[in-house]
Amino acid sequence: MKRAEFLKVGLALSLAPILPHQSSVAKIKDSIRLLRHATLVINLGGVRFLVDPMLSPKGAMDPVQNAGNTERIPLVDLPISDQELSNILEHVDAVLITHTHRDHWDAVAQNSIEKSKPIFCQPSDLSKIKEIGFKNVTDISDKLEFQGIRINRTGGKHGTGDIGQRMGDVSGFVLTKGNSRVYIAGDTIWCDEVKNALDQYKPTYTIVNAGGAQFNAGDPITMTDLDIIEVANAHTKGKLAAVHMNTVNHCIVTRAILRERLAAKSLSNRVYIPEDGEQFNI
Ligand SMILES: [Zn+2]
């Protein structure tokens, strides 16, 4: 044995007792990180999804019109540095877009996400996303498999009556890997589509878009505290988190209000309300 090889083997042997055995290496935990509003990074079985990216800095976009106030949006900055954001955009395996309203898919996201990144969307948004240059866009009408994760599309209602119609198509998605089933409900109120998705998939984790977004006239177009209570009561086994608050001017149910109303119904322990930037295990 040559001296160099001897040293190499010797080094390997001397390190052996302190290297953890393969089976004892902690597996990366499945997690969800809320960046802001509905923008999430979900890590499931080592596959990372960026959901509904709205990446503009604070105040970069006009307010939602007819919403009772005229504050420019987003109301707050992203909680991460530009460097950390580029890192996330580079390393996510795919982007999942529930619908293309600008609080879920804004100009900064469109310009800063690599055009070859795999993107999944609902069928009615396919051409819109392709037209701006994305080359690897796949619509999901029912389900597909991506890197060992099953993705099922679910329905929803972005409001009632005429306003709901004008808001257009919205979708949710269920990501399944082994026993983990993560349901991203998307921009929907409590409705049959959500109830059916809970019944059919029995998600282990459900993320609902709260905020009770509302215009000057008409019913809310995203979940209010009452909608979330319905979700919590309909599916008592899975965990539940509420996002889509404190960022866009038409969302009138803030985290503080939601917390207070859930506490009044003794449901604080059932609904997790993450802060921007917070990561939690699935
Ligand atoms: Zn929204």
pLDDT digits 0-9 by tens, 212-263: 999 888 999 999 999 999 999 998 899 999 999 999 999 999 999 999 999 9
Q: Which domain holds residue 260?
A: 26-274
**Does 230 fall in a domain?**
yes
Q: How far is the C-alpha of 31 from the C-alpha of 132, rounded, in Å? A: 31
Mean pLDDT across the chain, nearest whole number?
91
Q: Is the pLDDT of residue 20 over 80?
A: no
| Per-residue pLDDT, 26 | 54
Main-chain dihedrals φ then ψ at residue 174, nearest 5 degrees: -115, 125
Question: 20 Cβ partners below 8 Å, 6+ apart?
Answer: none
Cα of 13 vs centre of ligand 1, distance in Å, is 56
Cα of 200 vs centre of ligand 1, distance in Å, is 24
Cα of 172 vs centre of ligand 1, distance in Å, is 12
Cα of 109 vs centre of ligand 1, distance in Å, is 15
Cα of 235 vs centre of ligand 1, distance in Å, is 23
Mean pLDDT of 27-34: 87
Cα of 211 vs centre of ligand 1, distance in Å, is 9
| Per-residue pLDDT, 161 | 84
| Per-residue pLDDT, 27 | 60
**Does 11 fall in a domain?**
no
**Model-level pTM?**
0.89
- Cβ distance 37 to 103 under 8 Å? yes
| Per-residue pLDDT, 168 | 86
- Cβ distance 42 to 182 under 8 Å? yes
Distance of CA 71 to the CA centre of its chain: 24
Cα of 210 vs centre of ligand 1, distance in Å, is 9
**Does 35 fall in a domain?**
yes
In the numeric block, which tokens belong to residue 98? 């529930």
**Does 10 fall in a domain?**
no
> Which has the minimum average pLDDT: 22-36, 84-98, 125-139?
22-36
Q: Is the pLDDT of residue 28 over 90?
A: no
**Does 129 fall in a domain?**
yes
Q: Is the pLDDT of residue 12 over 60?
A: no
Cα of 112 vs centre of ligand 1, distance in Å, is 20
Cα of 14 vs centre of ligand 1, distance in Å, is 56
**Does 13 fall in a domain?**
no
Q: Is the pLDDT of residue 9 over 70?
A: no
Each residue's pLDDT tens digit, 130-164: 999 999 999 999 999 999 999 999 999 888 888 88
| Per-residue pLDDT, 166 | 86
Cα of 143 vs centre of ligand 1, distance in Å, is 23
Q: In total, how many domains does the chain have? A: 1
- Cβ distance 172 to 156 under 8 Å? yes
DSSP tag of 68: S
**Does 7 fall in a domain?**
no
| Per-residue pLDDT, 165 | 86
Here the CATH number for the domain that contains residue 177 is 3.60.15.10
**Does 20 fall in a domain?**
no
Cα of 140 vs centre of ligand 1, distance in Å, is 20
